[in-house]
Amino acid sequence: MTLIEPVQRTAAQDYARPRTRPHVVAAAADAGVPVLDVVVPVFNEQAALSDSIRRLHGYLLDQIPFTFAITVADNASTDRTPAIAAALAREIPEVRYQRLEFKGRGAALHHAWSSSDAPVLAYMDVDLSTDLAAVLPLIAPLVSGHSDIAIGTRLSRSARVVRGPKREIISRCYNLILRSTLSARFSDAQCGFKAIRADAAAMLLPHVADTGWFFDTELLVLAHRCGLRIHEVPVDWIDDPDSSVDIVATAVADLLGVARLVRGFATGAIPIRSLTAQFQPQPDPPPPPSLLRQVVYFATVGVLSTVAFLALFLVLRDAWGPQVANFTALLVTAVANTAANRRFTFGVRGRDGVARHQAQGIVVFGIGLALTSGALALLHLATDPPRAVEVAVLVLANLAATVVRFVLLRGWVFRSRHTAGAEPVTSVSTQGDSQ
């Protein structure tokens, strides 16, 4: 009911990069925000504004089963549009009003969508040329999570369109240009009837440069190149004979925008590869290995380590003495043992944490050294044992050290692998779904 300024918290903060897409209705209810925000960009629309907003509000109130807001985004109007919009915002609780001191439909949508708190964002032209019966089919696949963007199309065979041949020819030629130059697979870039999920908008909008009529096309091309799902809804559309849009100027600006995108993709100025990576679904981390599997792998690594330890000990014993030989053999095999257990027993890969794990492994090695060296020391204090007895004592001491090592590796060195929660990531579909 109040006039609003751009809010500080954006939809990206609430909805970006979840592991799985949130149920937007529940998420919006928990956050105390509307599910849907319909933005109506306006410039000097004092004649049509009040009736259109009331008509739109009445329809949404009666037909849409979700909470909603209507945001009037004023592009520096110089007539009575600001006063009318402000009055509507005071009168109707679901109506919001934003004032921009510069022109440009793209700028208005960019600003309104970026500052919205709703998880599903839409816009439509103030003349309501598109039949409002298409609103629910437009937003339903976004609410369900099936699609990322939804657009109305006047070029589908099932669409019912009333407009002059000049606009029809221009529209079809423009979309043919998009298909041939930018490999676009959506059918109608310019229909003023679109919706987008807030998480997708949060990642696409910073890369949309146009502030005018080409905004829609640029957004859709980026979305298509990133593999987002674009859902198309055939609409019933009646041309507004009083439209103030300059067709020639808009067509020239659109062609310049197409050329800019072609150049940007060709030169790499548009970071489509890094942008695409943000939308790639990231697999869940594999579950931690079972205790039985860990024991089997650890035992295998332990047997191999023990064999290597005894071989080194026997080679070095005569030249360096039993204690030095034991220390050297145990140190060498401990480093290899930690690396092998890290990779195979506990499933930790990559370079992250290698130094920390090896440092902790050295501590575990010190405990094993104390056990084996202590056993050797006690044995030599008691008697001058034959080699076979010495080896047998070392084997038993190593078995005890092995049990201690497993407990410490599992419960301390690699504990974070099993207890730390993974950061949520976005699971956004990368399959095109345009008609």
CA–CA distance, 304 with 234 (Å, rounded to integer): 68
3-state secondary structure of 100: strand
CA nearest to 109, candidates 95, 124, 119: 124
At residue 362, the pLDDT reads 80
Long-range pairs, 47-53, Cβ under 8 A, ≥24? 48/126, 48/127, 49/81, 49/84, 49/85, 49/88, 49/126, 50/84, 50/88, 52/126, 52/127, 52/128, 53/85, 53/88, 53/92, 53/95
Per the CB < 8 A criterion, the answer to whether 195 and 206 are in contact is: no
Average pLDDT over residues 379-405: 79
Polymer length of the chain: 435
Task: Give the residue ranges of DSSP H helices in 240-353.
Answer: 247-267, 272-279, 291-320, 322-340
DSSP state of 86: H
Higher pLDDT, 386 or 83: 83
Task: Enter the pTM of the model.
Answer: 0.61
What digits encode the pLDDT tens for the residues 319-377? 888 888 878 887 888 788 888 888 888 878 777 778 888 888 788 777 877 887 788 78
Residue 334, amino acid: A
Percent of the chain with pLDDT over 90: 33
In this predicted structure, the answer to whether residue 14 has a pLDDT above a threshold of 80 is no
- Portions of the chain given CATH number 3.90.550.10: 11-279
Query: Average pLDDT of 234-240?
Result: 84
Does the structure show a pLDDT above 80 at 396?
yes
Task: Identify the pLDDT of residue 278.
Answer: 67
**Residue closest to 142 by CA, chosen among 240, 38, 246, 215:** 38
Q: What is the pLDDT of residues 301-310, one digit of tens each?
A: 878 887 888 8
Model pLDDT for residues 153-167, shown as the tens digit of each residue = 988 888 888 877 777
Residue 296 is given by DSSP the state H
End-to-end CA distance of the chain: 39
- The model's pLDDT over 398-434, given as tens digits with 9 standing for 90+, comes to 778 778 878 887 788 777 544 444 333 333 333 333 3
| Average pLDDT for the chain | 81
What is the Cα–Cα distance from 70 to 95, expressed in whole angstroms?
Answer: 5
State how far the Cα of 223 lies from the Cα of 279, in Å rounded to an integer.
Answer: 10
Tokens of 297: 């792998």
Name the residue with higher pLDDT: 389 or 232.
232
Percent of the chain with pLDDT over 70: 85
Model pLDDT for residues 164-179, shown as the tens digit of each residue: 777 778 778 887 888 8
Q: What is the mean pLDDT of residues 238-260?
A: 75
Amino acid present at 262: V
What CATH superfamily classification does 11-279 receive? Spore Coat Polysaccharide Biosynthesis Protein SpsA; Chain A (3.90.550.10)
Asked whether 74 and 97 are in contact (CB, 8 A), the reply is yes
Confidence of residue 48 (pLDDT cuts 50, 70, 90): very high
